[in-house]
Amino acid sequence: MNTRPMSLFTSTSNNLGILPRSLNNEFDKEEKKIQNFETSNKKFYKDIKSYCEKLDELVKAEAKIINNISNLSSDLTDSNQELVEKIQKLKENFSEHTNSVDQLKQTCQSQVYEPLKNFCTIFPQVYQSIKRRDQYLKEYIKQQEKLDKLQDKDHTGPNLFKLNEQAKLVEQTKQQFLKEHNSLMKELPNLYSSRIDYVKPCVNSLIKSQANFYDEYAKFYETILPSSQLSYVNSLDTDIANLSEDIQKCLSDVKSLSIVASD
């Protein structure tokens, strides 16, 4: 976030009446847009970094679950051969699954995180220009105050000469300020409008990579429990209900054992 001083228009220059308030109001609006853009941009690429870290956590959690399932099922007999084969297939295909995770992370890093982070490097330059504009404004107001003091003095020959020279200096500093101000009033909107053209490819790349990843993610489990998309969708509620019944029945059977019976 920009930490430049409060605008001078609000205090000194309003009292002097040397610059219209609207001049600064318009500038403040453009500067605020840039500040919001910078904040959103930083949040976006930091969220992408966090997303990649969560993908790592996902892979570690899945690996742990698969390992625990394998250990839990290590003593299964031939009567459970189908389940044993599914678990073995799950373990064999897991390395391929982790590759798809790595590909998504690589895309997030190169196509989203790095471009957005690099874009943030321009903001310090922008704020430096804004700071320079404020410095020109301070100098302009300083010279204007000197001119006002000279105008209050007697209009003698020497004073009139000083007054004329000071008026030239005021005009010079004013033009210097307006040049910087007008340049920023042109460049800030251009920078703000460029955000879409810059961010859009990053977002598109992210969406495509995620779509591919979750497609591969689904295929990973379909190799373990192959079924058509249609039959899966149509039978999902039934399968969940059946699983719930099986779990409850098994839990009831376990609770009926004397070693876990309630006191």
pLDDT band at residue 89 under the 50/70/90 scheme: confident
Distance CA 187, CA 16 (A): 28
Q: Which pLDDT belongs to residue 247?
A: 66
The pTM of this model reads 0.70
Show me where the domains of the chain are located: 8-226, 229-263
Using CA atoms, how far residue 6 sits from 3, 16, 27, 180, in Å, is 9, 17, 13, 18
Q: What is the mean pLDDT of the chain?
A: 80
pLDDT band at residue 9 under the 50/70/90 scheme: very low
pLDDT at 203 over 60: yes
pLDDT at 251 over 80: no
Of the CA atoms within 13 Å of residue 60, those in its CB half-sphere come to 6
Distance CA 141, CA 133 (A): 12
User: Which tens digits make up the pLDDT trace of 101-141?
Assistant: 999 999 999 989 999 999 899 999 999 999 999 999 999 99
pLDDT at 13 over 50: no
Question: What size, in residues, is the chain?
Answer: 263
DSSP letters, the chain, are ---PPPPGGGTHHHHHT-S-HHHHHHHHHHHHHHHHHHHHHHHHHHHHHHHHHHHHHHHHHHHHHHHHHHHHTTT--GGGHHHHHHHHHHHHHHHHHHHHHHHHHHHIIIIIIHHHHHHGGGHHHHHHHHHHHHHHHHHHHHHHHHHHHHHTS---HHHHHHHHHHHHHHHHHHHHHHHHHHHHHHHHHHHHHHHHHHHHHHHHHHHHHHHHHHHHHHHHHHTTS---HHHHHHHHHHHHHHHHHHHHHHHHHHHTSGGG---
**Residue corresponding to tokens 């804004």:** 130
CA 75 to chain centroid: 49
Q: What is the number of other CB atoms lying within 10 angstroms of the CB of residue 97?
A: 20
Instruction: Please determine, looking at this structure, whether the domain spanning 8-226 carries the CATH number 1.10.510.10.
Output: no
Q: Which pLDDT belongs to residue 229?
A: 46
Q: Which pLDDT belongs to residue 10?
A: 41
Higher pLDDT, 79 or 242: 242
pLDDT at 30 over 60: yes
Find all residues with CB under 8 Å of 90, minimum gap 6, and list them: 66, 69, 224
